[in-house]
């Protein structure tokens, strides 16, 4: 039987852990609220941007940006993986990486090489052995587009120069505060979001030149996609952490209850033993 | 009932307007543009200035600085870098921004990388002040 003292110190240490997980849960909950607000605020822009760009992909435009043209042969593909900087957020990053590994394995089977750019130090440490070409870590809770531009540009340049033939974005999708699902989307070449009608036969009137306007738009489009992904991932991270910490707190509570029961039983056993010793001692004397 | 088109004005931070409008006037980088419903497809970059649109409830104006406008026959989408509702415009803040930009420009080489960015900021601040004055005059 475990000694009373050991059980007591065990309870003490679990109680401390419980305090920490409880505090982390509350911090994550309040950060999640703010992260969700930011995510919701940036969503309309990204949605509208996607709409405009899918119009462009459908129209007959005089100037086809290289992001719209499909390349027939695929020799090398690029991935931008968005993860969190910190752990203790349940299976969020693990699920995302599993999905990415699957995709990479599929490409490797077709003899296609993979280049990876990462956001977040968790992805950096996981994908380091695959050869990370660009990274951005420690973006904090309030990332700015300017922190991401450099990393994005590396991949876009790689595409322009023909080093990669496709670019994918891997991110967590915020379904609700309990559910986050990993999602892989093809960023370039751009695929029309929804085919509303069969091909259009119109072109835009451009002001100023077509190339200038479209170049600006395309850069903004990719930036907004990645920015949206990063912001969404923060909301995912916070809610995943909140849920993970909540279950950790609950588990700690259960463990404490069980240990307390064990402690009480042990104490009762010790008392019973003492009494029986005294009684039998008295009987021997008498 | 006049014909209308769907207008969406969004900036990176928020969605400012979404609804039916009868006409709009936007500050295109090559000059102001008036758009009516069933306009042919057009895409343009925007400069800092006033965006006016007419809804069933009357005329509304917004301040936009930079961005892209896409026109489709039945809808217009404005992706602004910055957009401010006219009632939120503040002359003092705009003037401060103008001062800051002017100071930053002083002694800067026009070839400098930041030059363009600061110049754009300065133009935005100037356009804001101008717009505040115009709105102020019509109110008086």
- CATH number of the domain that B96 lies in? 1.20.5
| Contact between chains at B68 and A213 (C-beta distance less than 8 A) | yes
> Nearest chain B Cα to A206, which residue?
B43
Give which of A204, A211, A221 to mutate to test B binding, by max B Cβ within 10 Å: A204
Give the pLDDT mean for A242-267. 95
Q: Which chain A residues are Cβ-neighbours of B68 within 8 angstroms?
A: 52, 213, 216-217, 220
* C-beta separation of B135 from B81 below 8 A: no
**DSSP-derived secondary structure letter, A182:** E
pLDDT at A212: 84
**Could you tell me if residue B52 is left (phi over 0), alpha (psi between -120 and 50 degrees) or otherwise beta?**
beta
Contact B10 A48 (CB under 8 A): yes
Verify that B45 and B80 share a domain, yes or no. yes
Residues B67 and B106 grouped into a single domain: no
The answer to whether position B58 is within a domain reads yes
Query: Between the CA of residue A13 and those of A21, A50, A56, A190, what are the distances in Å?
Result: 13, 52, 61, 54
Q: Which of A277, A278, A173 is nearest to A225 (CA)?
A: A173
Window B:97-136, CB contacts with A under 8 Å = none
Mean pLDDT of A56-67: 76
Residue A266 tokens, joined:
């042990």
Q: Which structure tokens are listed for A82?
A: 């968005």
Of B69, B86, B103, the residue at which a domain comes to its end is: B86
pLDDT of residue B111: 64
For all residues of chain A together, what is the average pLDDT?
87
Residues of B within 8 A of A48 (CB-CB) are 8, 10, 77, 79
Q: Is residue B15 part of a domain?
A: yes
Task: In whole angstroms, give the CA distance from residue A63 to residue A69.
Answer: 11
Q: Are residues B70 and B12 in the same domain?
A: yes
Judged on CB neighbours under 10 Å (0-12, 13-18, 19+), A142 is exposed
Tell whether B33 and B13 lie within a shared domain. yes
Query: What average pLDDT does this structure show over B89-105?
Result: 75
Assess whether pLDDT exceeds 80 at residue B106.
no
Cα–Cα–Cα angle for A65, A66, A67, rounded to 5 degrees: 90
Q: Say if residue B76 is in the same domain as residue B114.
A: no
Q: How far is the alpha carbon of A16 from chain B, nearest alpha carbon, in Å?
A: 41
Mean per-residue pLDDT of chain B? 81
Contact (CB, 8 A) for B51 and B24: yes
Give the orientation angle of helix A4-58 with respect to helix A210-285, to 10 degrees: 170
Nearest CB among B33, B45, B77 relative to A52 is that of B77
| pLDDT tens profile A97-152 | 999 999 999 999 998 989 999 999 999 999 988 878 888 888 888 887 778 888 88
At which residue do the structure tokens 């915020």 appear?
Answer: A174
Q: Considering only CA atoms, which of B103, B70, B68, B72 is closest in space to residue B82?
A: B68
B14 and B38, same domain (yes or no): yes
| For A220, nearest residue in chain B (alpha carbons) | B67
Containing A149, the helix (H) or strand (E) segment is helix A145-160
Q: What is the pLDDT of residues A76-99, one digit of tens each?
A: 999 999 999 988 888 899 999 999
Give yes or no for residue B140 having a pLDDT over 50: no
H or E, element range at B50: strand B49-55
Mark yes or no for CB contact A41/B13 under 8 Å. yes
From B86, B103, B121, give the residue that closes a domain: B86
Q: Predicted confidence band at A199 (pLDDT cuts at 50, 70, 90)?
A: low
The pLDDT > 70 percentage for chain A reads 96
Chosen from A39, A41, A44 to mutate, greatest number of chain B CBs within 10 A: A44
Residue B105 reports pLDDT greater than 90: no
Separation CA B67–CA B28 (nearest Å) = 9
pLDDT at B7: 93
Q: 10 Å Cβ neighbour count for A41?
A: 16
Strands (E) located in A86-203: 113-119, 132-136, 166-174, 180-188
In a domain, B123, yes or no: yes
From residue B85, give the alpha-carbon distance in Å to each of A231, B11, B14, B15, B93: 25, 11, 11, 11, 14
Q: Do A213 and B13 touch (CB under 8 A)?
A: no
What is the tens place of the pLDDT at every residue in A7-30? 999 999 999 999 999 999 999 999
Do B82 and B124 share a structural domain?
A: no
Does the beta-carbon distance from A48 to B79 stay under 8 Å?
yes
Sign of the torsion angle spanned by Cα atoms A54, A56, A59, A63: negative
Mean pLDDT (whole number) for B110-123: 70
Q: What pLDDT does B1 receive?
A: 54
Tell me the two tokens of residue A251.
Answer: 């588990």
Can you give the pLDDT at residue A233?
92
Residue B140 lies in a domain: no
At residue A180, does pLDDT exceed 70? yes
Q: Looking at chain B from residue 45 to 104, which residues have their Cβ under 8 Å from any Cβ of chain A? A: 45, 68, 70, 72, 77, 79
Question: How far is A232 from chain B, CA to nearest CA, in Å?
Answer: 14
CA–CA gap between residue B51 and residue B77 (Å, rounded):
12
CB distance B127 to B63 below 8 Å: yes
Q: So what's the pLDDT on residue A196?
A: 52
**Number of folded domains in chain B?**
2
For residue B139, the model assigns a pLDDT of 47
In this structure, are B31 and B60 located in the same domain? Answer: yes
Same domain, B101 and B74: no
Residue B74 and residue B21 share a domain: yes
Q: Are residues B59 and B97 in the same domain?
A: no
Q: pLDDT value at position A285?
A: 86
B interface test, pick of A39, A40, A41, A48 with most B CB neighbours within 10 Å: A48
The H or E element spanning position B100 is: helix B91-105
What does the block give as tokens for A227?
A: 């920015």
Q: Are A212 and B70 inside 8 Å of each other by CB?
A: no
- Rg (C-alpha) for chain B, rounded Å, is 16
B14 within some domain? yes
Q: How confident is the model at residue A192 (pLDDT cuts 50, 70, 90)?
A: low
Q: How does pLDDT run across B52-92, given as a tens digit for each residue?
A: 999 888 888 888 888 899 998 889 999 988 888 877 777 77
**Residue B128 distance to chain A (closest CA, Å):** 22
Residue pair B23/B7 in contact by the 8 Å Cβ criterion: no
Asked if residue A229 lies in contact with residue A148, where contact means CB atoms within 8 angstroms, the answer is: no
Give the pLDDT confidence score for residue A239 in this predicted structure: 93
Whole-number pLDDT of residue B85: 81
DSSP string over A223-264: HHHHHHHHHHHHHHHHHHHHHHHHHHHHHHHHHHHHHHHHHH
Summarize the confidence of residues B41-48 as an average pLDDT. Answer: 89
pLDDT of residue B110: 64
Cα A209 to Cα A193: distance, rounded to the nearest angstrom: 26
* Same structural domain, B103 and B66: no
For residue B65, give the CATH number of its domain: 2.60.15.10
Q: Which of A56-60, A103-107, A132-136, A153-157 has the lowest mean pLDDT?
A: A56-60
- For residue B55, what are the domain limits? 5-86
- Number of residues assigned to chain A: 286
């Amino acid at each position: 039987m475990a000694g009373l003292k050991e059980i007591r110190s065990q309870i003490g240490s679990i109680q401390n852990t419980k305090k920490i997980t409880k505090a982390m849960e509350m911090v994550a909950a309040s950060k999640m609220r703010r992260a969700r607000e930011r995510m919701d605020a940036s969503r309309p822009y990204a949605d509208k941007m996607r709409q405009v760009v899918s119009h462009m992909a459908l129209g007959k435009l005089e100037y086809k940006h290289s992001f719209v043209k499909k390349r027939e042969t695929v020799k090398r593909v690029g991935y931008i993986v968005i993860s969190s900087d910190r752990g203790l957020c349940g299976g969020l990053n693990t699920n995302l990486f599993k999905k990415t590994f699957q995709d990479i394995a599929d490409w490797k089977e077709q003899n296609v090489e993979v280049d990876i750019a990462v956001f977040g130090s968790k992805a950096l440490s996981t994908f380091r052995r695959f050869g990370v070409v660009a990274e951005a870590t420690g973006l904090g809770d309030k990332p700015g587009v300017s922190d991401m531009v450099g990393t994005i540009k590396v991949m876009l340049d790689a595409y322009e120069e023909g080093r990669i033939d496709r670019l994918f974005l891997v991110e967590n999708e915020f379904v609700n505060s309990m559910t986050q699902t990993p999602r892989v989307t093809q960023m370039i070449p751009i695929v029309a979001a929804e085919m509303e009608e069969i091909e259009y036969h119109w072109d835009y009137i451009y002001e100023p030149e077509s190339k200038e306007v479209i170049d600006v738009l395309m850069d903004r489009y990719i930036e907004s996609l990645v920015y949206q992904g990063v912001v969404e991932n923060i909301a995912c991270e916070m809610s995943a952490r909140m849920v993970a910490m909540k279950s950790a707190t609950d588990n700690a509570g259960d463990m404490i209850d069980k240990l307390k029961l064990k402690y009480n039983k042990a104490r009762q056993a010790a008392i019973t033993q003492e009494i029986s010793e005294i009684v039998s001692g008295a009987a021997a004397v008498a | 009932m006049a014909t209308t088109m769907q207008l969406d004005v969004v900036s990176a931070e928020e969605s400012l307007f979404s609804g039916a409008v009868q006409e709009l006037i936007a500050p295109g980088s090559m000059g102001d543009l008036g758009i009516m419903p069933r306009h042919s497809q057009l895409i343009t970059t925007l400069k800092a200035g006033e965006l006016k649109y007419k809804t069933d409830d009357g005329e509304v104006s917004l301040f936009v600085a930079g961005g892209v406008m896409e026109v489709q026959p039945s809808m217009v989408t404005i992706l602004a870098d910055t957009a401010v509702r006219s009632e939120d415009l503040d002359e003092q803040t705009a003037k401060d921004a103008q001062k800051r930009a002017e100071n930053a420009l002083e002694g800067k080489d026009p070839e400098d990388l930041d030059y363009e960015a600061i110049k754009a900021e300065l133009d935005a601040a100037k356009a804001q002040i101008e717009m505040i004055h115009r709105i102020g005059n019509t109110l008086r």
